[in-house]
Structure 1
Amino acid sequence: MLTNEMTELLKIKYPIIQAPMAGGVTTSKLVAEVSNAGGLGMIGAGYMTPNQIREQIREIKQLTSKPFGINLFVPNDFNWTESEVKLANQLLEPIREQLHILQGDTLEIPTSNHVYEIFNEQIKVVIEEQVAVCSFTFGIPSKEVITELKRNAIFLIGTATTVEEAVEVEKSGMDMVVVQGSEAGGHRGNFISQSQESLVGLMSLIPQVVDHVSIPVIAAGGIMDGRGLMASLCLGAKGVQMGTAFLTCIESGAHKVYKEAIMHAKEDQIVLTRAFSGKWARGIKNKFITEMEKHEDLLPDFPVQNTLTQPIRKASSSQNNADYISLWSGQSPRLAKNQTVKNLLDTIITEAKKINNNI
């Protein structure tokens, strides 16, 4: 069961992808170690500049000869008003003062055009550096982008949160689809359904998607061990994508306060919020989420709110203060461990084989 169409197409030993967590978690060491241990390491490049992407790709190539991939955010049109931003800043000001942040005029609010320009530059780097796999979140890129990537023999993976989205991913020409259950940590990849309508549990989502697409399905959301892997395979997925399990690994770039928060969290502390970024995301409820809860509907959309809270998250992190960091996590934090990537993968595979032998 552990060798199938997915492992053959991606040229990996085990049907396990390390989720591409943006924001500094996917260090070169983490990505390379996952690939070296038989999975597929992924760079979470959503917030990275084209130059940063190029540097990291080259760094990883020094650490592994195995395939690895990269994930990009598909840009979407967005608008914001001065009054929206002004109100958000007023709500954030007491927190800035508490963290001793000098506001000044340093925050540059992004525009749709700028975001599209960066995305096109990112694509260029992925092609030039010949990355084996490229996955996408928050939508489907244009036909032109998909055609260009396929022309350069880059394997493409889309992200979906409903059957309808998975069907669209297949129609676009992607080679595989990650189906993200509502258990998934951080931002989920919905792009047709609104966030609240796309909150389908993974174990319900997998078989329904499998029945409606012919490309391999990769399961994501709350999977932490061999039991989650085998359950996903039994329901028709060809493999899994795991985020939180890798986030607490030694090689991960997550702040130690962040890692500790996950390892001490309980499943009922994991909530959905749009307070940090303006887009619904799942993480550990902390002081910031609690304080902003009643104002969530007033906050500007992603990526505007994400830009406004960036100095708060950065300052909170540098002060070792978990109160104002976005502590993204899937719904299975009790299963998280602080261990090496190799140990995590070895344990998953041992568990999976044991279960397989007993079926």
Structure 2
Amino acid sequence: MTSWPDRRILDLFGIELPILQGPLAGATTPQMVIAVSEAGGLGGLPCAMLSHDQARTSLDIIRQATGKPINVNFFVHKPPAPDASEGRVWRDRLKPYYAEFGVSGDVPAPVPGRAPFDEAFCQLIEGYRPEVVSFHFGLPEKALLDRVKAFGAKVIASATTVEEAIWLERHGCDAIIAMGLEAGGHRGNFLSMDMSQQVGLFALLPQVVDAVKVPVIAAGGICDARGIVAAMALGASAVQIGTAYLLTPEATIAPYHRAALKSSPSDATALTNLFTGRPARGIMNRLMREQGPLSAEAPAFPTAGTTLAPLRAKTEATGSGEFSNMWSGQAVRLAKEMPAGELTRKLAAEALEKLRR
């Protein structure tokens, strides 16, 4: 076999390899996006933690370096209304830590650390016309979505249940990311916040494939060629890989995060809402062990991190990640250190070799 058995995503996006680099907010650089796209996959730029000016600068760098297709990713959420009492409850839980590390718990009012897709972002990407635009936590309002589709972008979004996949297809997605429970970072759920309903990729994937007509992209626990082949056997047209790219030199993660990824055992991750207010999978640390990892007292997304900021600053200065989020999927032990472009080509070549057998 010299070509991929399912070309739907390749033809839809205009790419050579059915590998999407997960848009890793806070870790992805323009250089990572460029390397993956130049290798034949689909590089993904996360904009949730970027200002409009930062997103523009990143897109300028990417477009100047490659003419290959790219994905630009956004969160879709409604910032919560200010709730002073909620912040006080969480600060009270953190007081012993403030005292231990000699920092003040008098923090400013919560400031959202992640921005949702809005009119300004929409106007920005209209000028760059990315080939793919992806969304997390659902889809934006119809008027904005129509504008994205009007400049020719293919729209994809994450589904963590069959019901979410059906909803996304009905509302205009060109392909759907089936996001298994193994995936690192924020869960993409949007129809329900009940984590007990979340399922693993290999239970979710074939059900989503059967339920929708658009191509399906598998995400969660895929870090090597075996995962790619297994996902395709269950009907995926492509895979989205995140955690494996965290160990590339193009990733901007803190040294303590990189060290934790390289040394963590297979059972080292858990879902937590302590750092942002929304469930996300990361490597276990002191805060997660002692206060969660899931707590009903954590402030609403995305403001939870404000009260943690003094603790993060103090501990990170010593090289510690005990009070910082270290996003990771469950297959972290399968990740290998190598440049992003090389990793993309290696994964594709090894997967094709296995498909030939």
Tell me the TM-score normalised to structure 2 length. 0.93
Q: How far apart, in 2, do the equivalents of 1:295 and 1:146 lie?
A: 33
Would you say 1:307 and 2:312 are equivalent positions? no
Deviation of 1:295 (Å): 7.9
Taking structure 1 as reference, are residues 353 and 109 closer, same or farther at Cα in structure 2, changes over 3 Å only? closer
Deviation of 1:102 (Å): 5.2
- Of stretches 262-271 and 190-199 in structure 1, the one that deviates more from structure 2 is 190-199
Give the letter for the 2:71 counterpart. G
Structure 2 residue aligned with 1:91: 93
Q: How far apart, in 1, do the equivalents of 2:59 and 2:149 lie?
A: 19
Q: How far apart, in 2, do the equivalents of 1:74 and 1:276 lie?
A: 18
Would you say 1:6 and 2:9 are equivalent positions? yes
Q: How far apart, in 2, do the equivalents of 1:47 and 1:311 lie?
A: 19
Structure 2 residue aligned with 1:352: 351
- 2:40 aligned counterpart, secondary structure: coil
Q: How far apart, in 2, do the equivalents of 1:343 and 1:115 lie?
A: 32
Would you say 1:235 and 2:237 are equivalent positions? no
Structure 1 residue aligned with 2:338: 339
- 1:158 aligned counterpart, secondary structure: strand
Equivalent residue runs for 1:170-249 within 5 Å: 170-249=169-248
Equivalent residue runs for 1:57-68 within 5 Å: 57-68=59-70
Taking structure 1 as reference, are residues 255 and 296 closer, same or farther at Cα in structure 2, changes over 3 Å only? same
Equivalent residue runs for 1:118-157 within 5 Å: 119-157=118-156
Give the letter for the 1:212 counterpart. A
Give unmatched runs, 5+ long, in structure 1: none
Q: How far apart, in 2, do the equivalents of 1:6 and 1:281 lie?
A: 27
Q: How far apart, in 2, do the equivalents of 1:248 and 1:230 lie?
A: 22
Would you say 1:288 and 2:291 are equivalent positions? no
- Of stretches 333-342 and 169-178 in structure 1, the one that deviates more from structure 2 is 333-342
More contact order relative to length (CA 8 Å, sep ≥ 6):
2
- Of stretches 306-315 and 179-188 in structure 1, the one that deviates more from structure 2 is 306-315
Give unmatched runs, 5+ long, in structure 2: none
Deviation of 1:101 (Å): 4.7
Structure 2 residue aligned with 1:297: 296
Would you say 1:17 and 2:8 are equivalent positions? no
Q: How far apart, in 1, do the equivalents of 2:178 and 2:346 lie?
A: 24
Taking structure 1 as reference, are residues 68 and 115 closer, same or farther at Cα in structure 2, changes over 3 Å only? closer
Deviation of 1:308 (Å): 3.0
Match of 2:84 among 82, 85, 92: 82
| Contact residue 71 and residue 130 of structure 2 kept, 8 A | yes
Q: How far apart, in 2, do the equivalents of 1:295 and 1:274 lie?
A: 5
Taking structure 1 as reference, are residues 263 and 154 closer, same or farther at Cα in structure 2, changes over 3 Å only? same
Deviation of 1:97 (Å): 5.1
Structure 1 residue aligned with 2:249: 250
Q: How far apart, in 2, do the equivalents of 1:28 and 1:96 lie?
A: 36
Give the letter for the 1:302 counterpart. F
- 1:282 aligned counterpart, secondary structure: strand
Structure 1 residue aligned with 2:47: 45
- Of stretches 193-202 and 281-290 in structure 1, the one that deviates more from structure 2 is 193-202
Root mean square deviation, CA, Å: 2.2
Tell me the TM-score normalised to structure 1 length. 0.92
Deviation of 1:115 (Å): 5.5
Structure 2 residue aligned with 1:259: 258
Q: How far apart, in 2, do the equivalents of 1:205 and 1:29 lie?
A: 32
- 2:92 aligned counterpart, secondary structure: helix
| Contact residue 80 and residue 300 of structure 1 kept, 8 A | no
State the identity %.
35
| Contact residue 223 and residue 244 of structure 2 kept, 8 A | yes
Deviation of 1:313 (Å): 3.5
Query: 1:166-224: per-residue Cα shift (whole Å, max 9, x none)?
Result: 01111111111111000001111000022414421101111100111111100000100
Taking structure 1 as reference, are residues 143 and 101 closer, same or farther at Cα in structure 2, changes over 3 Å only? same
| Larger relative helix fraction | 1
Taking structure 1 as reference, are residues 147 and 347 closer, same or farther at Cα in structure 2, changes over 3 Å only? same
Q: How far apart, in 1, do the equivalents of 2:313 and 2:246 lie?
A: 18
- 1:283 aligned counterpart, secondary structure: strand
Taking structure 1 as reference, are residues 78 and 46 closer, same or farther at Cα in structure 2, changes over 3 Å only? same
Q: How far apart, in 1, do the equivalents of 2:294 and 2:178 lie?
A: 31
